Amino acid sequence: MNNQDVPFFYVKSDYRLVQVELSKLLYIECEKDYMRLHIEGQRPIMTLMTMKTLEERLPQPQFMRIHRSIIVQVSKIECINQGSVNIAGNNLPIGNSYRERFFSYIDKLILT
């Protein structure tokens, strides 16, 4: 079975394994060596993991890195401004080095 086909994954948090449903994962923020997973209807989950490891394990392009410290679930973006996206009322910056790839992908989703 391919990891891309499984609708959830587990992370270690507070000495236990916590299930994270991909469909409910809004975005992820990096805070030094910890990841803060923002999930619909829950408090954020903190886990010790690198951004690179997490990015490699999330299905692409469903999840996209938009900043050196932020990965978003593209389908959860409510609004896109020139330099940021809005998810669940949170304004998240788009980093300069991620801007071209992000907007190139978004351009393909625009109905004209």
32 vs 19: CA distance, rounded Å: 22
Query: What integer is the mean pLDDT of 39-47?
Result: 96
**DSSP string covering 5-65, please?**
G-SEEEEEETTEEEEEEGGGEEEEEEETTEEEEEETTS--EEEE--HHHHHHHS-TTTEEE
**Residue 83, domain member (yes or no):** yes
Domain-embedded: residue 30? yes
CA distances from 27 to 15, 38, 76 (A): 22, 5, 8
Q: Answer whether residue 36 shows pLDDT above 80.
A: yes
Domain-located, residue 82: yes
The residue written with tokens 């992000």 in the block is 102
Q: Which domain holds residue 26?
A: 3-107
CB 84 within 8 A of CB 92: yes
For residue 3, the model assigns a pLDDT of: 54
* pLDDT exceeds cutoff 60 at 4: no
Max alpha carbon distance in the chain (Å)?
Answer: 49
- Report if residue 13 sits inside a domain: yes
Query: Is 82 a residue whose pLDDT tops 90?
Result: no
Question: Rounded to two decimals, what is the model's pTM?
Answer: 0.91
Evaluate whether residue 15 is within a structural domain.
yes
Specify if 8 maps to a domain: yes
The domain total for the chain is 1
Within-domain flag for 112: no
Confidence of residue 47 (pLDDT cuts 50, 70, 90): very high
32: domain CATH number is 2.40.50.1020
The pLDDT of residue 32: 86
Instruction: Assess if residue 65 is contained within a domain.
Output: yes
